[in-house]
Structure 1
Amino acid sequence: MNRFVPLAAVLCLTGGVVACSDRDDDVVQAPAPGAPPVALPDQQADAAASNAALAFNMTRDQLEDADLYSRANVDLGDVETLVLDASGALTHLVVELEGPGDMKVLVPVADVAPIDRNGDRDLVTDLTPGQLQALPAWTPPAR
């Protein structure tokens, strides 16, 4: 089940810049709150994405490949997309939650921490599955 959240609300919440998990996807920036997003040139998109890779001393690829776990070692979901503010700082992660419906939510980076699991870099949170489901749903920008 997909939930619809107006793009303006997502961009207002996230500060306006989005770096998608697939390097072929667009990186967009809203010129003003409520205005439609504008695609950034590839060079600017790559620069913004490389800035986000510094979060938790993880590379962009590590972040986009990370799983999100609870402190009790329960797999809660997978990171799908990195959300950046206008300065290129990582503000949110789009996480596809485990369970029916492939629900994707915006998780603030302040609510996660890095963890090493069996040689992999993943993320851990104190948020419960219910709290994660209550976070704002992610709707990607229209193309």
Structure 2
Amino acid sequence: MTRLLLAASALGLFGLAACDNTTDDVVQAPAPGAAPVAVSDIQAQTAQTTAALAFGMTRAELEDADVLSPANTDLGDVETLVLNANGDVESIVVELEGPGDREVVVPIAQFSSISQGNDKDLTTTLSATELAALPVWTGAAATR
């Protein structure tokens, strides 16, 4: 009985360790007017790792990254990676600073990485006003 209990506990802990809830922040780009398509955990992990490496970051650093202006003003936070049909990250959903939880879709080419001490974040030359004018992410299709 004790062995069975220990085995069940070990399997439960292994299952918890194997679960990665960060892959739910990666979606396939939706068709206009459609909801985003879920991607497999493997596809999500690959995309996250590839994007993070392109910015010289770890996956955890990318998932926790702030979006900063060139003057180090906090513009928002990385929320979701949006993949194209090839499985490559084409844009990042950013939750903007300020009232409400407004999320916008920003093309991946608008970002570069920045290191400040032990922190790694993303920077963009887009202003807060320009970011606010980008398509809104609704969890379905981006709208203006």
TM-score, normalised by the number of residues in structure 2:
0.69
Instruction: List aligned pairs for 1:16-31, cutoff 5 A.
Output: 22-23=21-22, 25=24, 28-29=27-28
Instruction: List aligned pairs for 1:61-76, cutoff 5 A.
Output: 61-76=60-75
Instruction: List aligned pairs for 1:87-126, cutoff 5 A.
Output: 87-126=86-125
Instruction: List aligned pairs for 1:41-80, cutoff 5 A.
Output: 41-80=40-79
Show the counterpart of 1:83.
82
Cα distance, 1:105–1:27 mapped onto 2, change above 3 Å: closer
Deviation digits for residues 98-117 of structure 1 (CA, Å, limit 9, x no counterpart): 00011000111111110011
Kindly provide the amino acid, as one letter, of the partner of residue 93 in structure 1: I
Report the 3-state secondary structure (helix = DSSP H, G, I; strand = E; otherwise coil) of the residue aligned with 1:63: helix
Q: Once structures 1 and 2 are overlaid, which stretch shifts more, 81-90 or 98-107?
A: 81-90
Deviation digits for residues 50-94 of structure 1 (CA, Å, limit 9, x no counterpart): 333332122222111100111111110010111122222221111
CA contact (8 A) 1:64 1:82 kept: no
RMSD: 2.7
Cα distance, 1:26–1:110 mapped onto 2, change above 3 Å: closer
Which has the higher relative contact order, 1 or 2, with Cα contacts under 8 A spaced 6 or more apart? 1
Consecutive unaligned residues in structure 1, runs of 5 or more = 1-20
In the aligned structure 1, how far is the partner of 2:93 from the partner of 2:36?
18
Aligned pairs, how many?
Answer: 121
In the aligned structure 2, how far is the partner of 1:98 from the partner of 1:38?
27
The structure with the largest alpha-carbon Rg is 2
